[in-house]
Amino acid sequence: MTIKPSNVLALALSGAVLAGCSSDNDFVPPPPPPPPAMATFEVTVDNLTNAQPLSPVAVIAHATGYHVFSVGSAATAGLEEQAEGGDNMALLAEAGADGDVRATASGAGPIGPGGTETITIEVLESDVATLRISTSSMLVNTNDAIAALDAVDVSTLAAGTSMTWRTIAYDAGTEANTEEAAHIPGPAGGGEGFNAARDDIADRVSMHAGVVGQDDGFATSGLNNQHRFDNPVARVRITRID
């Protein structure tokens, strides 16, 4: 997990300055200020699909100015990398560079169908008043489908309480839904993941229309009826721990 509040950096710097002075016996350092109060949230993601593993989940805690995606807007480069290939590194780096983002975290690995993972994220207590949480993960047996939750309001969650959302599948709009094995990075295809070319019918995020599959007359599809899905595709429970 990465926390990037500016005063943690300030504390680290002041610690370095004090360390530099510690050999001066005449100087009695003041007691260090108490650590800032933190708030901890657990984000539990359940995969509700039949045969769509979810790529490692990106969890982003932020203020109101950040969105991991918006229907009708083009996906960011980081979201495209995750939506096409399952790798969340660029998405998290992009978020980390956003002034409205307070912390980021990644799931440890893919979440298989029926599987679950709990990811912990910590922010400054002083950031809770405007706190939103976004999550995103790829349905890996697709071209560019994501299970994502944008900017849900967790500012009123009391410690020990939780809220649950069901996420629907979105199409990142960055890759044509060829369903060819060569373009499906998940186990159903073993093909290419991220490719910077944007060749979907329109370069913007929308609802995913589902996969067709070879059993439903799409002869060149590498997918079959097992890979079909319907909404919701995942369940996200966010619990405030303290």
User: What residues make contact with another protein under the rule CB under 8 A?
Assistant: 71-72, 168-169, 171, 173, 177, 179, 201-202, 204-210, 212, 216-219, 230-231
- Whether the upstream peptide bond of residue 232 has omega within 30° of 0, thus cis, is yes
Contact assessment for residue 96 and residue 201, using Cβ atoms and an 8 Å cutoff: no
Q: At its nearest, how many Å lie between another protein and the CB of residue 163?
A: 14
Q: At its nearest, how many Å lie between another protein and the CB of residue 73?
A: 8
What is the layout of strands, in order, in the sheet containing 169-171? Answer: 2-3, 101-106, 58-62, 132-139, 145-153, 169-171, 206-207
Q: How far apart are CA 122 and CA 102, in angstroms?
A: 9
Q: At its nearest, how many Å lie between another protein and the CB of residue 19?
A: 49
Q: At its nearest, how many Å lie between another protein and the CB of residue 60?
A: 20
Choice between 45 and 75, CB closer to another protein:
75
Six-digit token string for 1? 């997990």
Choice between 3 and 152, CB closer to another protein:
152
Choice between 105 and 205, CB closer to another protein:
205
Q: At its nearest, how many Å lie between another protein and the CB of residue 90?
A: 23
Q: At its nearest, how many Å lie between another protein and the CB of residue 71?
A: 5
Which H or E run contains 121?
strand 116-124
CA diameter of the chain? 83
Q: At its nearest, how many Å lie between another protein and the CB of residue 162?
A: 20
Choice between 96 and 210, CB closer to another protein:
210
Choice between 52 and 177, CB closer to another protein:
177
Choice between 103 and 238, CB closer to another protein:
238
8 CB contacts (<8 Å, ≥6 apart)? 36
Tokens 């980081």 belong to 78
Choice between 105 and 234, CB closer to another protein:
234
Q: Is the dihedral of CA 187, 191, 195, 199 positive or negative?
A: negative
Contact assessment for residue 55 and residue 110, using Cβ atoms and an 8 Å cutoff: yes
Q: How far apart are CA 52 and CA 168, in angstroms?
A: 13
